[in-house]
Structure 1
Amino acid sequence: MDRLTLVLGGARSGKSARALALCPAPHAFIATAEPLDAEMAARIAAHRAERGPDWEAVEAPLELAAAVTAAARPGRHLLVDCLTLWLSNLLHHGRDPEAETAALLAALAAAPGAAVLVSNELGMGLAPMNALGRAFRDAQGRLNQRIAAAADRVEFVAAGLPLTLKGPPLP
């Protein structure tokens, strides 16, 4: 298994399922989503059921670097799902995404074991109609580029099919 893997894709592309398949036990799931409404609570519950009971769950809507540091163990696989929600949380709370990304990269570099991070690829659609949407898309693109540069493996998932962007193809 690669030390750091980034799994990118669009909404409902199958990226989370792919990331789960890349994380053999023992493993921990670091969730960045918050159940702010009934629909999101249902999504979180569905993801939890999909993972099964053998995953340790860590909630980290903002303090992702600290969660990685706390959950990392030799031989343990971490799955972070997802960077897009984490970025949204950071911006909502007025945090600096560049500084937070640097802290996350440092935590990942220092962590024993492997990590798989899930993120949305937002740059393939139409340009957002407003400044806030464009700023978010741009920040997401920068975040994905920084994580991809540090990653040993990067996959793009479309229609449930992974395409290797960086690293050797998996069997």
Structure 2
Amino acid sequence: MITFITGGARSGKSSFGEALVKKAATVPADVLYIPTAKAYDEEMQDRINKHRIRRPKEWETLEMSTRFQGLEINSDFVERSVVMVDCLGVFVTNRMLLKERDFDQITANERDQMEKEIQREVKHLLDILREKEAFIVSNEVGMGLVPEYPMGRIFRDILGRINHEVAARADKVYFVVAGIPMCLKGEDR
């Protein structure tokens, strides 16, 4: 079963996801936590550290910032029945920055190819999570202003379409606003 949790920045989506994981896991050691963040600077390292402190120490952590291919044969993944991925927005950012690109000059073909590669990774993730009790966290990007720069617009468009795909395939979908989760899809409705 896949549960998708989305919300804005600092909305409480990760904390809510972690609470759902704690309820789902009868044994804390049965949880695999997959963070996608990379510590590019001190502020990001601080965010990562705060997430680590908040999580139970028994949860196994497997950092995957740019690829989900191969996860299905990883022993930590195979051995655990509860999986949390946090977060797809950071994953999309990491994939967009994987190759050096001039986003002000990117062609439609380059943009489409980049999006196809990202979608392929996320679809693979969704396929292999079907056999698990899975929780996926992502940023909601469709409610803000149109980004001023091409890179921001490309990010918003790609993540928006990925969120759409994940929500369509998820069994449950929650939207978190100001720390309050609202069930949009699934049995809590």
TM > 0.5 fold call: yes
Alpha-carbon distance in structure 1 between the residues aligned to 2:175 and 2:34: 20
2:36 is aligned, of 32, 46, 49, to: 32
Residue 137 (structure 2) pairs with residue 133 (structure 1): no
Cα distance, 1:52 vs structure 2:
2.3
The CA deviation string for residues 62-113 of structure 1, in whole angstroms up to 9 with x for no partner, is 1124335524336611100000000001111147333332343234323432
Residues 1:102 and 1:150: Cα distance change in structure 2 (over 3 Å)? farther
Q: Is the 8 A contact 2:174 2:181 kept in 1?
A: yes
Structure 1 residue 151 and structure 2 residue 155: aligned? Answer: no
Identity %: 37
Alignment of 1:70-109 (within 5 A): 70=74, 71-73=76-78, 76-94=81-99, 96-109=114-127
Structure showing greater radius of gyration is 2
Looking at structure 1, the residues matched to 145 and 5 of structure 2 have their Cα atoms a distance apart, in angstroms, of 22
Measure how far apart 1:11 and its partner are. Answer: 0.5
TM-score, with length taken from structure 1: 0.90
- Alignment map for 1:13-24 (pairs within 5 Å): 13-23=11-21, 24=25
SS of the residue 2:62 aligns to = strand
Equivalent residues of 2:126, 2:166 under 8 A apart: no
Taking the aligned partners of 1:68 and 1:18, their CA distance within structure 2 comes to 26
Count of residue pairs the alignment pairs up: 168
Q: Shift in Å at residue 14 of structure 1?
A: 0.4
Structure 2 alignment gaps of length 5 or more? 100-112
Aligned to 1:80, what secondary structure does the other structure show? strand
- 2:45 matches 1:41: yes
Q: What is the TM-score with the length of structure 2 in the denominator?
A: 0.82
1:56 to 60, 65, 68: 60
Amino acid at match of 1:106: H
